[in-house]
Amino acid sequence: MKQERLRREIVATARRMNALGINQGSSGNIGVRVDGGLLVTPSGVDYEAMKPADIVAMDLAGEWSVETAGLRPSSEWRIHRDILTARDEIGAVVHSHPTYGTALACQGKGIPAFHYMVAIAGGDSIRCSKYKTFGTEELSREALKALRHRKACLLAHHGMIACGADLAEALKIAVEVETLARQFWHVLLLGKPKLLSKTEMNKVLEKFAAGYGYASGPEEAVG
Residues with catalytic annotation? 76
Q: Report DSSP letters for 93-160, one per residue.
A: EEEE--HHHHHHHHTT--B-SSSGGGGGGTSS-B-EEPP--TTSHHHHHHHHHHTTT-SEEEETTTEE
Contact 168, 213 (CB under 8 A): no
> CB under 8 Å, gap of 24 or more: what pairs does 39-42 form?
39/3, 39/6, 39/7, 39/10, 40/64, 40/73, 40/74, 40/77, 40/80, 41/10, 41/14, 41/73, 41/74, 42/68, 42/71, 42/72, 42/73, 42/74
